[in-house]
Chain A
């Protein structure tokens, strides 16, 4: 037997990861030992502190890595090089912003998560949990665990770490997807779909890992790359393994044809979590994909190129075309994120040095706009009807106070007091504080966004900014990102990808602009509100669940058979300010990266060399 030699570990290089995972473990202990009342502030401080510290740690490592080109830690299992740091910094910043959105509550103290995840929707137990004012704080450690996995994912230097990081980032997300306070059936369903498809994809990835191990006799990227050059006669094993590993990674980035989970999971998940996973998961997964393609399989590029080109083109086209016909704002953003995965893939597939820089910049630009856009979606809510007064038209955005009729929701849904929407007319003729129809879940149907620009110009303007960035309009971050990836694609002789990308961007601009037109140049609809179409939200009892199902089915079926007038009015809820801070920062970053992208691009280009 050989003597066991303790590995030499460069702990300093691991600080961002250790901070986040350490805080996650501490967060679990907080859940166990801190009294319920104090949990939220403690968890929030811990989470925000850990993520901010991770950003600082990345910055502290930057100079060293820029000089030396990077270090391999744990004998090569984790590679801390330039792209790793850029991606870790991006993930940490985006997670920080996303946590602000997650932590936000409406001014009635209601967050986005079910009071008891285990409670059956519509049951007495759930009602009791809501009445007791329970709030979910397990969300924070779960987000931290997922973030920890995302920090490891782009830094992996071998396939074992890749698999473990993938699972560490995925498992908390499966749970978080199922914890929405509103529309819990949709949320649970999204969670199950995401879980079953996700575990299927990771099983495929795992079998690919086994085949590559069989081919090379090692799990290290560098040694596999060496084996690709030297070993002959096992091409079948190599190709099958490489394709299966890529399948697993492409599933995580939501590329066509592995995208089918994306719209469902994005729509069903609590909106702050949707923003988190849309931004951070994609950044981390593209980081891992970059490393696998550039470090492990560069010599296989001629074999993989047809497959990757097909996937990139299909992703751009399907994402764009299907987004055109969506009627739910979260689904529009989901398909738009699929299209964006295609745009990033053009940069990745270019397989050039500039492709790395372009991909990293695009991910940052896409991430800030995504977190911001979903942050806005969390604030735009439906105004439920008061049952007795349901038949009269109610102007959207305006609030009708109807005295003496309590809303259908429980105390957890305590009514947003008059004036929340900045609407001074609300209390004209009634006692202040009287319920006038509860604020319900997010107003996700596109028709409900009509006229938002008139009632809430600032919020709608910010949302329009994010949409313009998605569309790639000059002076926004999205333009610089798109320009960079398409240039890289042309450099890498992948000009057909660039052509398809430009055409797809043009088509995509149409549906982004359509939403902007809807918000600013369409008058808000008013219409009778009936409890059957969305006004009933998580009421007690089975009949309520059925009504909710009916409402959700209507919402999911699209607008063709439902006139906009049947939908409840829209209101922008007041928040405790966290989400507004996050949205503001995202907006500033989007503009800043668009107007002066130079310093950031230079900084990325300085360090954008992958360790072998």
Chain B
């Protein structure tokens, strides 16, 4: 089990997250996809830090966690407020803005 495996796992998780964002219709699930992408990035950062024998990547991972937490606060606030208005969290129902 080399460090490359972690990178491959990270890439797979990131792709899964991106696919979730692009394919799913529920705003909460889409948001979970974003979180998965962030966590996949954390795995990559920590692995690279280990590869380089350098702590910067680990520090960065901590920052990402903090930012992700802040993003959850803002994101859930927005999604909950829109859910209370429409009784739906589907991004397909959100279609008033069109050109």
Q: Return the CB mask of B46-89 against A: 1 if under 8 Å, else 0.
A: 01110110101101100110010011001101110110111000
**CB pairs A–B below 8 angstroms (13 shown):** A171-B74, A185-B86, A186-B96, A186-B97, A189-B96, A192-B82, A192-B91, A196-B21, A207-B44, A219-B56, A264-B97, A267-B97, A549-B96
Residues of A with C-beta under 8 A to B60: 159-160, 163, 209-210, 213, 219
User: When the two chains form their complex, are residues A196 and B31 in contact, meaning their CB atoms are under 8 A apart?
Assistant: yes
**Secondary structure of the A contact surface, majority rule:** helix
Chain A contact-residue range equals 35 or more
A26 to B45 alpha-carbon distance, docked (Å): 35
| CB-contact partner of B94 in A121, A192, A209, under 8 A | A192
| CB-contact partner of A191 in B21, B78, B91, under 8 A | B78
User: When the two chains form their complex, are residues B82 and A164 in contact, meaning their CB atoms are under 8 A apart?
Assistant: no
User: When the two chains form their complex, are residues A196 and B34 in contact, meaning their CB atoms are under 8 A apart?
Assistant: yes
Q: Return the CB mask of A199-241 against B: 1 if under 8 Å, else 0.
A: 1100110110111011001110000000000000000000000
User: When the two chains form their complex, are residues A175 and B78 in contact, meaning their CB atoms are under 8 A apart?
Assistant: yes
Interface residues contributed by chain B, number (CB under 8 Å):
47
User: When the two chains form their complex, are residues B45 and A192 in contact, meaning their CB atoms are under 8 A apart?
Assistant: no
Residues of B with C-beta under 8 A to A602: none
User: When the two chains form their complex, are residues A217 and B52 in contact, meaning their CB atoms are under 8 A apart?
Assistant: yes
- The distance from the CB of A155 to the nearest CB of chain B, in whole angstroms, is 17
Known contacts A206-B38, A207-B14, A211-B44, A199 near B51 by CB under 8 Å? no
User: When the two chains form their complex, are residues A203 and B34 in contact, meaning their CB atoms are under 8 A apart?
Assistant: yes
User: When the two chains form their complex, are residues A203 and B78 in contact, meaning their CB atoms are under 8 A apart?
Assistant: no
| CB-contact partner of B85 in A188, A207, A322, A325, under 8 A | A188
- The distance from the CB of B46 to the nearest CB of chain A, in whole angstroms, is 9
Residues of B with C-beta under 8 A to A175: 74, 77-78
User: When the two chains form their complex, are residues B82 and A167 in contact, meaning their CB atoms are under 8 A apart?
Assistant: no
A118: Cβ under 8 A from any B Cβ: yes
* A-contacting residues, B1-48, CB 8 Å: 7, 10, 14, 17-18, 21, 27, 30-31, 34, 37-38, 40-41, 44-45, 47-48
User: When the two chains form their complex, are residues A556 and B96 in contact, meaning their CB atoms are under 8 A apart?
Assistant: yes
Known contacts A171-B71, A188-B78, A199-B31, A206 near B64 by CB under 8 Å? yes
A351 to B41 alpha-carbon distance, docked (Å): 30
Q: Return the CB mask of A536-578 against B: 1 if under 8 Å, else 0.
A: 0000000001000100110011000000000000000000000
- The distance from the CB of B21 to the nearest CB of chain A, in whole angstroms, is 5
Most chain B beta-carbon neighbours within 10 Å: one of A159, A211, A268, A322: A211
